Chains A and B, each alone.
Chain A
Amino acid sequence: MTQQPTAVAEKPTVRPDPVQQQRTFPRWLKKPLLHTISLLIGATIVVPIAFGVLGGFKDNGQLTTNPIGLPKPWDFSKYSTILTSGAFWLQLRNSTIVALGTTVLVVGLAAMAAYVFARFSFRGREILFTVFAIGLMFPFAVAILPLFILLRSLKLLDNPLGLILPQAGFGLPVTIIILRAFFRTIPAEIEESAVLDGCGRFGFFWRVLLPMARPALATVSVLAIVASWNNFFLPLVIFNDPTWWTLPLGVQRFQTTQYSADTASVLAYVILSMVPALAFYAVAERQLIGGLTTGVTRS
């Protein structure tokens, strides 16, 4: 994009290829074209969501005759019924409890283990680390059925721990790997001086390392929260009783019972369930994108 015609003019002999002088389209067309493409793709994302938001303000008759346009009249009853029903708030609370429980557990345990993997040298360290790293090769979906059998014999069905413990266990590999990499960047001198000042191993971990690792801890926490928030497969098999349904399960169940009868309410339910996720994205966008990309591209 930053063409430098002067530089090209200075070295006309480097590559006397006439093709390179031809541009596929005129320069003045480029910006409008880029904007058009961006707007079109933006519309692909916004239009279905807008359809959902507006659909929630229609009654089902309107949805059939007029799925695209603005509601007339606006019907606020779908959203207000859901917001006053209790089930939605219960599921929101359950999702929050499970996400926080999972995150505290996985980040706490992973930080302790990552500290050892990063800063102790002992026989078998790499083998032990590899055991955790192999966990990355286990897609969560693969373990659903044996996990169900296991949780059933532990009497953890219809119990939030039945969701928190497996999610934390499956979150350990990523979390340990990211935190270990971060802990390794903290200079050994800091640990030495902390030890000289009378800080024990635990004191250094708790009072020096964890505070220094705050950005990395934020990143892994955000990843754990999003993963837990969106989990559907395990809640689907372990929660029979609506008391502990999380939002994705609640949305899916609401959809299976109301889909044909009351489509507008389903749209309202889906849209409301998107709000917390989008709000969280607005707040934690930097940690989320940072966490996803640092792993993939070495910075």
Chain B
Amino acid sequence: MKRSTLADERSSSADILSTSAEPAAAPIGRRRGRGRDWLAIVLFVLPALVLFVAMVLLPMAIATYTSLFKWSGYVGAPMDFVGLDNFKRLLDDDVFLGDLRRGGLLIILSLVLQLPAALALAMLLNQNLRGRTFYRLLFFAPYVLSEVTTAVLFKIAFSPNRGLIPHLLGGIGLGDLSTKVFADPKTVLYSVFFVISWKYFGFHMIIYLAGRQNIPKELTEAATTDGATSWQVFRHVTLPLLGPTIRVSVFLSIIGAIQLFDMIWVLTEGGPVHGSETMAVTMYTTGFKRFQVGYAMAITIAMFIISLVFALFYQRFVMRRDLEGAITGIGAQR
């Protein structure tokens, strides 16, 4: 999903997986005095390290500490130490538990609908089709639009009286359906999913296409020569060889769903009746609207733990066969 931040984390998490398997460059440090090397190392790494510690690690430390307090966040330092109470409250909070359920539903919808559609489309555009370069550019274009602009556009396109889609649906006798796209807590999540797919399917399609083009032609040709139908070639040659690409795309899709905020906030602000609320939205409203900063920090920590556990688990068990992730790679070296 990310988001967004998107060329963002989505691309980033993938790169970690691919680079570390390369052989280390030949060590060249010995030629000069070690002292001069250390000076160069410190001078070159320190600026990045300082920025990283201050802007990435320090906030996580702040979140961990303040999540142990009952704190409005706006007057002085946190004083009212409550231990793990914020986390206990989290496990009893219907909204937060609902966030997990809704996030899970969005992930399932993505895996069952969006990614297979993107894969089918990639296979289609891999064919010798007139204008496929144009289609590829067009299908990817929504990815470069921000989630905010996408959401505002669709909010209006779906709006009951001035919208495009209600008119289209009304034209084919589905006018009733259109009035409750974002207004009915039961359907709102599906509408949100439609907009998410509109923005992101092109991204997944592009990486499948790149993966498909890395499969040597000889393999599919050999299968065809041996009498396999196009479906059999896809099922038994292309699909298995696309495995690593698909697993990365699934990974990015799930990480994106965990941190989904921009699109939801603009489309629905999480409503109606929490019907489209995500963890990030709950965190935002709790911290910035209701000023329960200590509790919102606990949500922050929960989101962090969920992404971390998921990422480590996924790299360790699902992608292990494909590539050595930097994180798990370190573990394996010891």
Which residues on A are within 8 Å of B, measured CB to CB? Answer: 1-4, 7-8, 11, 14-15, 17, 19-20, 23, 31, 34-35, 37-38, 41-42, 44-49, 51-52, 55, 60, 63-64, 67-68, 105, 109-110, 112-113, 115-116, 118-122, 126-150, 165-166, 168-170, 172-174, 176-178, 180-181, 183-184, 188, 191-192, 195, 201-202, 205, 222-224, 226-227, 229-233, 236-237, 247-249, 251-252, 255, 259, 263, 266-267, 270, 273-274, 277-278, 280-281, 285, 288-289, 291-299
Contact = CB atoms under 8 A, between A and B. Distances in A.
Interface residues of B, number: 134
B245 A120 contact: no
Contacts of B164: 47-48, 51, 67-68
B100 interface: no
A7 B225 contact: yes
Given A149-B66, A149-B293, 12 more contacts: A20-B228, A37-B121, A112-B48, A116-B44, A129-B326, A140-B3, A141-B280, A143-B59, A149-B73, A165-B51, A292-B11, A298-B244
Contacts of A4: 221, 224-225
Contacts of A252: 148, 152, 265-266
Nearest to B63: A146
Contacts of A192: 28
Interface string B38-54: 10110011011101101
Nearest to B221: A2
A146 B153 CA distance: 31
- The dominant DSSP class at the A interface is helix
Contact of B245 (A46, A126, A222, A296): A296
B60 A146 contact: yes
Given A150-B58, A188-B25, A128 B48 contact: no
A226 B333 contact: no
Given A48-B153, A134-B327, A270-B152, A169 B140 contact: no
A45 B125 CA distance: 16
Contact of A68 (B16, B44, B168, B311): B168
Binding site secondary structure of chain B: helix
B273 interface: no
B29 A120 contact: yes
Contacts of A112: 44-45, 47-48
A177 B17 CA distance: 10
A15 B226 contact: yes
A195 B16 contact: no
Nearest to B165: A48
Interface string B285-324: 0011000010011001001100110011000000000010
A173 B16 contact: yes
Contacts of B127: 1, 34
Residue with the highest number of chain B CB atoms closer than 10 Å, among A15, A137, A233: A137
Contacts of B10: 292
Most buried by B among A35, A112, A146, A281: A146
A118 B25 contact: yes
A45 B138 contact: yes
26 contacts: A4-B224, A11-B225, A15-B227, A42-B139, A113-B45, A119-B25, A120-B27, A121-B27, A131-B52, A140-B8, A143-B300, A145-B300, A147-B59, A149-B73, A169-B55, A170-B56, A172-B56, A177-B19, A184-B25, A223-B8, A230-B5, A232-B261, A233-B284, A288-B7, A292-B207, A293-B207
